[in-house]
Amino acid sequence: MDASSGGFAGRFAGTTVVVTGSGSGIGAQTVRRFAAEGAVVVVADINLAAAQHVAAGIPGALARHVDVTRRASLRALADAVAAEHGGIDVLVNNALSCSLPPFLELSDAQIQADFAVNAIGPFMACQEVIPSMLARGGGVILNVASVNALSTYGNPAYSAAKAALISLTRSLAFEFGGRGIRCNAVAPGTIDTEHWAPRLALEPDLFERAARWYPTGRVGSTDDVASALLFLASHEAAWINGITLPVEGGLLSGDLGLTRELAPDPDGKSTKG
């Protein structure tokens, strides 16, 4: 379903949705999809020009600068949305920092950046937004984690920070579920976004190679993740709280590499195991 198909037209009418890191990738498609279903969306990104570009394509959307690693910036965003729209109904913590070096080569700055953007930023954003959600009678918080938090795929600082984000998801669900706020996470697998552009420039067949490890035979799209986020934000998910929903084509359901390695030869006579 694309952003214009309006499968649930009006499902989010009257709601204000803020998505961090929505100047690109999953966040950009998520604001398009929320807007297509009636929400007022705030495109919030450290790259204001990117946020403005995305917002320009969405009727009624607002672009805002935010650096999720800075509390003052998060507070300014929450205050501005409260002044203009009365408050935030749905907050999606989606901004990304993912350092590539292996464990022993990660610098202090890379470790701190991955934790600041993926874990501490969402933690502070929730502290800034939840009081007004409580005052308004409730809200929804969605955290974009990763399969990296649930198994091992490299990027150790990023993965540990995403695991912290999943823990935060449970804590918020537990503490605020009785006061009208639901908090859930999604854990995407490999998603075709701008994040991968530098790697794809060097390895154009990267997604074809990655797709071999996905039981569904492809990597994911931004719509795959946006669909899950919209469901978790919707009334259909009213009794879903504190979960992490994998959006990964079955990647975590087993080990496709080992399964293929142990499979009998086509003649059925021998196994490799």
Ligand X SMILES: NC(=O)c1ccc[n+]([C@@H]2O[C@H](COP(=O)([O-])OP(=O)(O)OC[C@H]3O[C@@H](n4cnc5c(N)ncnc54)[C@H](O)[C@@H]3O)[C@@H](O)[C@H]2O)c1
Residue nearer to ligand X on the CB measure, 72 or 262: 72
Catalytic site includes residue 272: no
The residues, ordered by sequence, that sit 6+ positions from 47 with a Cβ below 8 Å of its Cβ are: 23, 24
Q: Is 214 a catalytic residue?
A: no
Tokens for 75, please give them. 């507070």
- Residue pair 8/37 in contact (Cβ under 8 Å)? The answer is yes
Of the listed 162, 214, 269, 272, which one is catalytic?
162
> Nearest to ligand X by Cβ — which residue?
25
Paired with 43 in beta bridges are: 19, 63
CB 264 to ligand X: min, Å: 33
CB of 84 to ligand X, least distance (A): 19
Question: Residue 190 in contact with residue 146, Cβ under 8 Å?
Answer: no
DSSP 265: P
Of the pair 36, 46, the CB lying nearest ligand X is at 46
Q: How far is the CB of 83 from ligand X (least distance, A)?
A: 20
Distance between CA atoms of 34 and 19, rounded to whole angstroms? 10
Q: Are 48 and 213 in contact (CB under 8 A)?
A: no
Rounded to 5°, angle at Cα 233 from 220 and 251: 25
Which is nearer to ligand X, 137 or 186 (by Cβ)? 186
The minimum distance between CB 28 and ligand X, in angstroms, equals: 7
Provide the β-strand partners of residue 90: 17, 140
Question: Which residues of the shown chain bind ligand X in the complex (CB under 6 A)?
Answer: 20-21, 23-27, 45-47, 50, 66-69, 94-97, 117, 144, 146, 188, 190-191, 193-195
Measured from the CB atom, is 62 or 95 closer to ligand X?
95
Cα separation of 218 and 248, whole Å?
10
62-65 β-sheet, strand order = 62-65, 40-45, 16-20, 90-93, 139-144, 181-188, 244-247
Of 153, 158, 269, 272, which one is the catalytic site residue?
A: 158
Contact 162, 149 (CB under 8 A): yes
**Of residues 8 and 153, the one with the C-beta less far from ligand X:** 153
Q: Using the minimum distance from each CB to ligand X, give the nearer residue, 134 or 160.
A: 160
Least distance CB 195 / ligand X (angstroms): 3
- Quote the least distance from Cβ 60 to ligand X, whole Å: 21
DSSP letter for each residue of 197-244: HHHHHH-TTHHHHHHTTSTTSS-B-HHHHHHHHHHHHSGGGTT--S-E
Joined tokens for residue 136 = 């308004």
Active site residues: 158, 162
